[in-house]
Amino acid sequence: MNKQRGLEDEDLPVNNIKALRRLARVIAMSQGQFSLILVCCNFSLQPLQVLNQLQELTALPIQGIILSPGVETLFTTLASALEEPPPPALMVFGLESIVTLDQVLSATNLVRDEFRKQFSFPLVLWINDEILQKLIRLAPDFKSWAANPIRLEAPINQSLEWAGITA
């Protein structure tokens, strides 16, 4: 039987539960203002499970967006996908799938002030270490608005699977 692993599994590192609680607190404290929050996760997660878990922790209806590979600009893509009224927080998944990620990040840096002007809520970007390095290099001004990333560790079963693949 192939059981999907999620955030509630008993083999999830305790640090991840703490990290999600920290994320929930940061989202709650950032209500009504733009805040860039980076969550660094180097393993695959189910976005709906993440959203459900955070909504349980915050009691806020967080909007989630999964980006498609053809995204050309982050700001206009997010602005056009926003619900009315704007959500208490917007969580963005799928940056790693964007084909022209370097161009998207460079463009994001150029229009960074639009995020603050137009988004009066926390923006949570789910990234991996590779994207974090690209943000630092290609969108340094935009990235500077974020505190240190909130990090999630791979569950034990995924760490072992990864070790088996790379060994």
Asked whether residue 99 is assigned to any structural domain, the reply reads yes
Q: Is the pLDDT of residue 99 over 70?
A: yes
Q: What is the pLDDT of residue 139?
A: 98
CA distances from 91 to 61, 87, 115, 159 (A): 11, 10, 14, 25
- Indicate which CATH number applies to the domain containing 39: 3.40.50
Domain that holds residue 64: 34-166
Question: Structurally, how many domains does the chain consist of?
Answer: 1
pLDDT band at 10 (very low <50, low <70, confident <90, very high): very low
Asked whether residue 5 is assigned to any structural domain, the reply reads no
Lowest mean pLDDT among 44-53, 80-89, 110-119, 158-167: 158-167
Asked whether residue 1 is assigned to any structural domain, the reply reads no
Q: Is the pLDDT of residue 9 over 60?
A: no
- 63-92 per-position pLDDT tens digit: 999 999 999 999 999 999 998 899 999 999
Q: What is the pLDDT of residue 12?
A: 54
What is the DSSP secondary-structure string of 148-164?
Answer: SPEEEPPPHHHHHHHHH
Higher pLDDT, 47 or 80: 80
Q: What is the pLDDT of residue 117?
A: 96
Distance between CA atoms of residues 118 and 69, nearest Å: 24
